[in-house]
Structure 1
Amino acid sequence: MDSTERPRGPRLEWTVFDSGSAVGPGPGIGPLLLAATPEGLVRVGFHAGPDRVEKTIGSLVSRLGADARRPPPGGEVLLAEPIRQLTAYFAGSLRRFDLPLDWRLSSGFHHQVLHELDRTVPYGTVVGYGELAARVGQPGAAQAVGHAMGSNPLPLVVACHRVVENDGGIGGFGGGVETKRVLLALEGVLPQPLF
């Protein structure tokens, strides 16, 4: 950028977090895209391969009117604390994320449901889609809760993996059902795989 040019909008810092290295010998859940604005963490994305990262960052720049930059490893400013807390979570020593969140990618019913999930479903517990719908005053809206989980811009941190089917089934998950199983096993809800 020319020294006379001004940035287009707010800063968007992003990186790819290696969940595998955070858990030690286990496989983790693959690379995660993390993006933050000065307001807080704005996006967590699963399966952060180059094509998916490029598409997601392009979408964030467009939607937020932000200038994106990827700092060198260890040079993160906005993402330093999310990286620290995710590392602790995967190591089993963090049970509640305490991060500023930028909620601009979520609104209306979806935001209401995600906020309720974040506020009332702690580590190591699960809630049914229908029960979560009832908690936000919309009994019978289990399918809409499923859509809200699928649109969650902050999975892991706003733990949509803790939402399961009312009949005891694991339900779907934007990061894949196997990822959901790994996260629920990490939190002690499901047994760890034998191999």
Structure 2
Amino acid sequence: MSQPALGQKQIMIALAAVIVLLAVLIGVLVWQNSRASLAETSALVPADPTAAVTGMPSGSSPEVSPGMPSGMGGQSSAASFDPATAPVVPSGMTPSDFVTSYYEACAAKEYERAFTLLPVATQTTYGDATTFANTLEGYGISGFSVDPPVETADTYSVIGWQVAQGMSFGYEWVFVKGGSGEWLLKSRTMAGSQ
């Protein structure tokens, strides 16, 4: 082999070695960054996710839908229902009208009024109307709809949908008949998203 051909071969080998070293270096950097991202994400997950989402300790049985979006709290458990303190649907109004008035209040940013239309357990989860208002403001709600109800002699169920950030989030509102025939709001649970 001639001297120039040997020099070119050595240069090619050196370039190949540099390319391999760069690939290894990039691989190590990507691997370290993915581990750091995983550690940061893991740090954001609370030790007790049930309590973080529902405000209830683990072991209790809140009605939380699987796959509930982060921050979409405000669930109320049927187990926490007390007819004596439950919101009452005003006379002349159907439970569907009641649910619609909740969503209208949210759309008008009348959060204190909307807060009073929630089940007591849900109000307790939020803590106060200010926290509730801050939460809803963060969602960026842009619309709502209310499905036709399912009614029996003693129960009335309706799903209301809030549109936020390009998705619809449904909540099932369940009402039961009170002792005087009035409708009482029993629960509001996440029904899913579209």
TM-score by length of 2: 0.21
The structure with more radius of gyration = 2
TM-score by length of 1: 0.21
Please identify which structure carries the higher strand content.
2
